[in-house]
Structure 1
């Protein structure tokens, strides 16, 4: 999906006095995983709340909620899991 890009600190990316457009799927995924329910005013049920998961020992509800929210956003998820090194691996793509 193409959208307005953000820089490394989350500000709008600019070039030659204009917004930079580009591949934004990873940014959309990141925002959905970080946001809590209610933060997206147009879609109040969207959001996983990664910070809440960090304080919980059971990560399975997080993975289920993450899969459901990413699918709601239009992704087809084949698999979502935590790797041994702690990285979240999302195997999927936007339809």
Structure 2
């Protein structure tokens, strides 16, 4: 998906908002957001911080996959790596 890009702040290029493939930043925002943070879609959000307090990470992965699919993505794989990071293979369905 092509959208406005930002890291911690908006990315400016040649005096204008930078645009580009934003799939990864959408995944990141859905994983970080808690339910209710998006006014237009209050049911979207996984709340990764809440996962830190649980001993059952599979429930988090199921919820993450469901949220990404709800946002229009086809999720091929989502899993934790050995070093504890999350590997997400997902693309928006056109």
TM, length-normalised to structure 1? 0.93
**How far off its partner does 1:87 sit?**
1.5
Paired residues, number = 93
Q: Could you say what secondary structure the match of 2:88 adopts?
A: strand
Match of 1:18 in 2: 16
C-alpha displacement of 1:60: 1.0
Q: Distance in 1 between matches of 2:77 and 2:14?
A: 40
CA distance in 1, matches of 2:89, 2:40: 27
Aligned counterparts of 1:16 and 1:45: Cα–Cα separation in 2: 37
Output the aligned Cα RMSD.
Answer: 0.9
Counterparts of 1:4 and 1:35, CA distance in 2: 18
**What is the CA distance between 1:91 and its match in structure 2?**
2.1
Consecutive unaligned residues in structure 1, runs of 5 or more: none
Give 2:6's aligned residue. Answer: 6
Which residue does 1:34 correspond to in 2?
Answer: 32
Q: What is the rounded CA distance, in whole Å, between the counterparts of 2:56 and 2:33 in structure 1?
A: 19
The C-alpha deviation readout for 1:24-62, integer Å capped at 9, x for no partner, is 000000000000000000000000000000111111110
Q: Which runs of 4+ in 1 moved over 4 A?
A: none
Deviation at 1:3, TM superposition (A): 0.4
3-state DSSP class of the match of 1:29?
A: helix
